[in-house]
Structure 1
């Protein structure tokens, strides 16, 4: 089993639950932090002292306060750690259930496990720790559909730009003017209107407001 584990979560109650689980698994060298920057520095310090961490368990969302942070989210922390220290195992433990964000972390950042906080969160986390220890990746069954090919969305960079402009309240004419200024095509009002209507159909949105709500929930904008 892992020898040295770092927990990064700004909620003490969550930290305590994870701490108890790790101790139950026979892990006693456990460090708890409440900031991503602090987690990053602890990892660096462990390497310098030749006492590296074997596993990082991190949340994604951290409430901002008076401290200025370089890493403001678990996503940023995981990205840096996986790039600089790919040998360090990383488990994300979060309430975040938006498919796009989960996919990005699991498929692109290549975190070793993604566990959803919830009714089965701690039992899933225990399974994740055990699987990751033997080099098996894990994702909570309740959110594993995020990786399903049937959830793929045919959406382009152009679509994302339109949706962002739409979310800011721009009219079709205003969107056309902005796209034309950036030499982005198609920029015609009729083309923009047609594509937005297509996106509403694709996402099953009833109107523009509903469309923006849906794509925000998916983490697309």
Structure 2
């Protein structure tokens, strides 16, 4: 079992709850906690530099703003920075976020090892998640494994991501079409781009381009 764990959670009750589960239910006792991402990163770096690295990071996604200026404002920032130093550290996200698309993004883009949604089954799911991740399994929550979630998930290919990136930079569909043609990326016809963009509006239930960009940024896709 993991012997050294870092917990990043800004709510004291949730923080202590995670530690109690790790202590009492799983038998992990070498645990350090942090209420801010920057503090968590500093503890991580100290342990790493002292050659006493953490084996597992359990982090929330959102953290309350404070009077202190934070370099890392979210769990996503924390995961990226820690993984850039120690790529093999195991990561479990423990959050209230239950949108399948955002959870799926964390697995696909950040390669997290497990996810637990805060709620009435969180204790049982956290225990199972830690055990599963320790056994080198990828532990996905019920929000991703039930049929309803699978059917409602939005799947984006490279062209979709390129369109979203260009739209976020303020380019019009006509300008995007010209750019795609110059780069010899297909499909690049006016009708094909119109259909793709319209589908993105429908998938994300966006009212306009500004709304669409705001949604995908909130989901962490851009």
TM bucket, shorter chain:
0.7 to 0.9
Show the counterpart of 1:208. 207
Shift of 1:56: 0.9
Show the counterpart of 1:36. 37
CA distance in 1, matches of 2:168, 2:107: 25
CA distance in 1, matches of 2:32, 2:72: 18
CA, structure 1 residues 164+3, in 2 after alignment: closer, same or farther (shift >3 Å)?
Answer: same
Show the counterpart of 1:95. 96
Show the counterpart of 2:6. 6
Query: Within 5 Å, which residues of 2 pair with 1:111-130?
Result: 111-130=112-131
Checking the alignment, whether the CA contact within 8 Å between 2:177 and 2:193 is kept in structure 1 is: no
Query: Within 5 Å, which residues of 2 pair with 1:31-110?
Result: 31-110=32-111
Shift of 1:104: 2.5
**Matched positions, count:** 209
CA, structure 1 residues 65+198, in 2 after alignment: closer, same or farther (shift >3 Å)?
Answer: same
TM-score normalised according to structure 1 size: 0.75
CA distance in 2, matches of 1:61, 1:193: 35
CA distance in 2, matches of 1:127, 1:7: 17
CA, structure 1 residues 97+48, in 2 after alignment: closer, same or farther (shift >3 Å)?
Answer: same
Checking the alignment, whether the CA contact within 8 Å between 1:116 and 1:143 is kept in structure 2 is: no
Q: Please, which runs of 5 or more residues in structure 2 have no aligned partner?
A: 182-189
Q: Please, which runs of 5 or more residues in structure 1 have no aligned partner?
A: 166-174
Checking the alignment, whether the CA contact within 8 Å between 2:41 and 2:78 is kept in structure 1 is: yes
CA, structure 1 residues 75+204, in 2 after alignment: closer, same or farther (shift >3 Å)?
Answer: closer
Show the counterpart of 2:143. 142
CA, structure 1 residues 144+84, in 2 after alignment: closer, same or farther (shift >3 Å)?
Answer: farther
CA, structure 1 residues 133+147, in 2 after alignment: closer, same or farther (shift >3 Å)?
Answer: farther
Rg larger in structure: 1
Deviation string 1:15-69 (CA, Å, 9 cap, x unpaired) is: 0110110011111111110111111111111122232212110001011212112
Shift of 1:132: 1.1
Checking the alignment, whether the CA contact within 8 Å between 2:100 and 2:143 is kept in structure 1 is: no
CA, structure 1 residues 57+158, in 2 after alignment: closer, same or farther (shift >3 Å)?
Answer: same
